[in-house]
């Protein structure tokens, strides 16, 4: 119930993309698809296989891609933004960081497989280099496209009159709102007993002693670490910027000398054994071995009992849900906001179809003001939790109306204005950007006359 993308979602998206990528490769090998340059925008090249891959990927995500010419034009627009972003001195060049992060994502995915060969075979990549390049390309385009879009639309805003005008003009075209709910939650992480903590710490101390006796930190990380993002890489994280890691980890790492190893360190992720590899200015390299603090059945039962007591106080009117969330919730994203759960766009209205299955099941049949029984769930970093959820509101499916959906309509009007600003920017930049389109798209009628621009170079 948080806004951060979970590892499983990342892996699913990458699986879909890589599956598409491999299909295009196999088509190339069998001669079904003759690959080549479809479009050149500045020094950005769009291959025929890129267009096929992105179209298939869009369809997999539920988008309608019925007009290939329209789809190609959207890709050209995006590439022009990316080309301009790379030339914009106010946009930070993050190529090195993106490349490093691509390697870390690769290692994170690798941690889900028994070995590299199995992973590459699953994603249909021939080499690790090829797969890392694919990840890096996705991240690079996303970064530069988003940064340039943000720079162009930074000062965009709409007045109440503009929102009203937008609604009056498009109200018969606006989508219907599906069934929604507004929810609040109180989430607690079951606390480990001292005996359980001591057991984990003792295991880490044993690993540390084995390393001091000659075992390599890297090999022990591969064997014991429960961090999917680094275990396969010997526990290594490179070029870590200060502030990126959780505070206990960073404090311990930066208090070490190069080559020195910490005692067990506790964080929200579990318990770490950390070795500082290198310090370089504001960045550092470190290896770690993570043992997650997984609660056992007894500890989960104890947390459920405590949460049930809190629920009883709320139901009896002795404690408000808002105060209980602030006092007892371990979810930092909601505890300071009266426990209110927000969607990706920041709204407190969430479509029922987009609810996690566990939450959807728990609130089924409940009405406004009802509170679920205590139930077990899984939160960020796959940590086990015990949770109660309050149904703050139930909104039936309806046509958008400015009286009840003003903020949503305002966002739509703002998005329209932003898109118009980007469209204007693209047209202004066209005379200064080389664009070449393959003749196989000569029958396309584009909104922007890309060919005329190219011919006039």
Assess whether 133 and 202 both reside in one domain: no
CB 241 within 8 A of CB 101: no
Residues 288 and 375 in one domain: no
* CA quadruple 48, 49, 50, 51: dihedral sign: positive
- Least confident stretch, 6-10, 19-23, 89-93, 130-134: 6-10
Helix/strand/coil percentages in the chain, nearest 5: 50, 15, 30
What's the confidence (pLDDT) of residue 125? 82
pLDDT band at 353; cut points 50, 70, 90: very high
- Model confidence pLDDT, tens digit, residues 92-106: 998 888 888 888 788
- The answer to whether residue 2 scores a pLDDT higher than 50 is no
What's the distance, Cα to Cα, between the start and end of the chain in Å?
52
What does residue 92 show for φ and ψ, rounded to 5 degrees? -60, 135
Kindly list the distances between the CA atom of residue 17 and the CA atoms of 30, 96, 324, 410, 429, in Å, as whole numbers in the listed order: 20, 23, 43, 33, 31
Question: Has residue 420 been placed in a domain?
Answer: yes
Polymer length of the chain: 457
**pLDDT band for position 380 (cuts 50, 70, 90):** low
pLDDT at 32 over 60: no
**Is the same domain home to 59 and 135?**
yes
Per the DSSP assignment, residues forming a β-bridge with 283 are 241, 280
> Do 13 and 129 have their domain in common?
yes
- Asked if the structure places residue 100 within a domain, the reply is yes
Share of the chain above pLDDT 70, in %: 89
Look-up of token digits 């003003």? 406
Is residue 62 located within the same domain as residue 108? yes
Comparing C-alpha atoms, which of 402, 378, 343 is closest to residue 181? 343
**What's the rounded mean pLDDT across residues 98-116?**
81
Residue 21 near residue 30 (C-beta atoms within 8 A): no
Domain match, 276 and 305 both: no
Q: Among the three residues 254, 270, 292, which one is the final residue of a domain in this structure?
A: 292
Same domain? For 125 and 251 the reply is: no
Cβ contacts of 426 within 8 Å, gap of 6 or more: 77, 80, 81, 448
**Looking at residue 205, what is its pLDDT?**
97
Considering the chain, what percentage of its residues have pLDDT values greater than 90? 61
Number of domains in the chain: 3
17 pLDDT exceeds 80?
no
* Mean local confidence (pLDDT), 171-185: 94
Output the pLDDT for position 453.
59
Question: Does residue 151 share a domain with residue 12?
Answer: yes
Average pLDDT estimate for 438-457: 77
Domain hosting 112: range is 7-158+415-455
Q: State how far the Cα of 19 lies from the Cα of 21, in Å rounded to an integer.
A: 5
Q: What is the mean pLDDT of residues 101-120?
A: 82
Contacts of 191 (CB under 8 A, 6+ apart): 295, 299, 302, 303
Last residue of a domain, one of 277, 292, 307: 292
> Mean pLDDT score of the chain, rounded to an integer?
87
Pairing relationship of beta strands 398-399 and 236-241 according to DSSP bridges: unpaired
Residue with more model confidence, 75 or 7? 75
Q: Same domain for 272 and 350?
A: no
Residue 422, classed as helix, strand or coil, is helix
- DSSP secondary-structure letter at 106? H
- pLDDT at residue 60 in the model: 59
Whether 8 shows a pLDDT value over 50: the answer reads no
Would 362 be classed as within a structural domain? yes
* Domain-located, residue 407: no
pLDDT at residue 111 tops 80: no
Residue 395, SS3? strand
Give pLDDT, residue 25: 45
Which CATH number do you get for residue 201?
A: 3.10.50.40
Question: What per-residue confidence (pLDDT) applies to 62?
Answer: 67
- Check the CA dihedral 226-229-235-237 and report its sign: negative
Is 446 or 10 the better-scoring residue by pLDDT?
446
Structure confidence by residue, pLDDT tens digits, 221-275: 999 999 988 888 899 998 888 888 999 999 999 999 999 999 999 998 899 999 9
**Cβ-contact 50, 82 below 8 angstroms:** no
In this structure, of 63-67, 286-290, 356-360, the range with the lowest mean pLDDT score is 63-67
Contacts with 408 (C-beta within 8 Å, 6 or more apart), sequence order? 177, 347, 400
Report how far residue 235's alpha carbon sits from residue 376's, in angstroms, rounded to the nearest whole number. Answer: 30
Does residue 393 share a domain with residue 420?
no
Whole-angstrom distance, CA of residue 69 vs CA of residue 74 = 9
82 Cβ contact partners less than 8 Å away, ≥ 6 residues apart? 44, 141, 144, 145, 148
pLDDT of residue 192: 95
pLDDT band at 124 (very low <50, low <70, confident <90, very high): confident
Instruction: Answer whether residue 170 is part of any domain.
Output: no
* 330 and 189 Cβ atoms separated by less than 8 Å: yes
Which pLDDT does position 24 carry in this prediction? 40
Specify the DSSP element, H or E, that contains 266. strand 265-267
pLDDT (mean) for 291-295: 93
Task: Please check whether residue 224 is in contact with residue 291, taking contact to mean a CB–CB distance below 8 angstroms.
Answer: yes
Our measurement of the distance from residue 451's CA atom to the centroid of its chain's CA atoms, rounded to an integer in Å, reads: 37
C-alpha dist (Å) from residue 431 to 158, 423, 428, 435 = 30, 14, 7, 10
The answer to whether residue 2 is domain-embedded is: no
Q: What is the dihedral of CA 206, 207, 212, 213, to 10 degrees?
A: 80
- Give the separation between CA 253 and CA 249, rounded to whole angstroms: 6
Same domain membership, residue 380 and residue 276: no
Copy the structure tokens of residue 39.
């479009």
pTM exceeds 0.95: no
Residue-wise pLDDT for 358-374, tens only, equals: 999 999 999 999 999 99
Please say if the pLDDT value at position 422 is more than 90: yes
Please compute the mean of the pLDDT values over residues 293-298 and round it to a whole number: 93
Give the range with max mean pLDDT: 90-94, 180-184, 344-348.
Answer: 180-184
Lowest mean pLDDT among 7-16, 71-80, 341-350, 448-457: 7-16
Rg for the chain, CA atoms, rounded: 26
> Does 347 lie in the same domain as 236?
no
Specify the pLDDT at position 452.
64
């Amino acid at each position: 119930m948080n806004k951060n993308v979970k590892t499983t979602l990342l892996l699913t998206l990458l699986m879909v993309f890589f599956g598409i990528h491999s299909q295009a490769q196999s088509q190339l090998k069998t001669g079904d698809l003759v690959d080549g340059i479809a479009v050149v925008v500045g020094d950005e090249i769009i291959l025929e296989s890129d267009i096929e891959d992105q179209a298939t990927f869009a369809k997999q995500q539920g988008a309608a891609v019925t007009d290939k010419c329209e789809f190609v034009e959207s890709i050209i627009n995006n590439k022009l933004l990316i080309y301009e972003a790379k030339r914009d001195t106010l946009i930070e060049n993050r190529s090195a960081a993106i490349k490093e992060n691509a390697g870390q994502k690769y290692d994170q995915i690798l941690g889900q497989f028994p070995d590299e060969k199995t992973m590459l075979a699953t994603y249909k990549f021939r080499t690790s280099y090829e797969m890392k390049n694919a990840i890096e390309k996705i991240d690079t385009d996303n970064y530069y496209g988003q940064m340039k879009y943000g720079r162009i639309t930074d000062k965009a805003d709409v007045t109440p009159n503009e929102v009203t005008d937008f609604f009056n003009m498009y109200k018969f075209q606006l989508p219907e709102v599906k069934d929604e709910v507004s929810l609040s939650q109180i989430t607690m992480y079951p606390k480990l007993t001292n005996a359980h903590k001591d057991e984990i710490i003792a295991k880490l101390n044993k690993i540390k002693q084995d390393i001091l006796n000659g075992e390599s930190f890297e090999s022990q990380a591969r064997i014991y670490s429960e961090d999917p993002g680094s275990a396969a890489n010997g526990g290594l994280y490179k070029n870590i910027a200060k502030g990126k890691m959780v505070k206990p980890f960073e404090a311990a790492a930066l208090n070490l000398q190069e080559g020195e190893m910490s005692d067990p360190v506790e964080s929200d992720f579990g318990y770490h054994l950390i070795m500082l590899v290198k310090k370089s200015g504001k960045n550092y390299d470190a290896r770690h071995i993570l043992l997650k603090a997984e609660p056992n059945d007894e500890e989960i039962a104890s947390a459920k009992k405590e949460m049930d007591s809190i629920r009883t106080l709320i139901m009896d009117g002795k404690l408000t849900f808002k105060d209980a969330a602030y006092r007892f919730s371990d979810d930092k994203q909601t505890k300071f906001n009266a426990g209110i759960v927000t969607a990706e766009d920041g709204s407190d209205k969430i479509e029922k179809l987009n609810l996690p299955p566990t939450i959807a099941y728990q609130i089924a049949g409940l009405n406004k003001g009802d509170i679920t029984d205590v139930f077990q769930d899984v939160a960020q970093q796959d940590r086990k939790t015990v949770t109660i959820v309050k149904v703050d509101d139930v909104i039936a499916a309806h046509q958008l109306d400015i009286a009840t959906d003003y903020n949503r309509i305002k966002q739509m009007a703002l998005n329209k204005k932003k898109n118009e600003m980007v469209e204007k920017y693209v047209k202004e930049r066209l005379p200064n950007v080389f664009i070449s389109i393959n003749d196989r798209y000569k029958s396309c009628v584009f909104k922007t006359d890309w060919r005329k621009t190219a011919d006039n170079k």
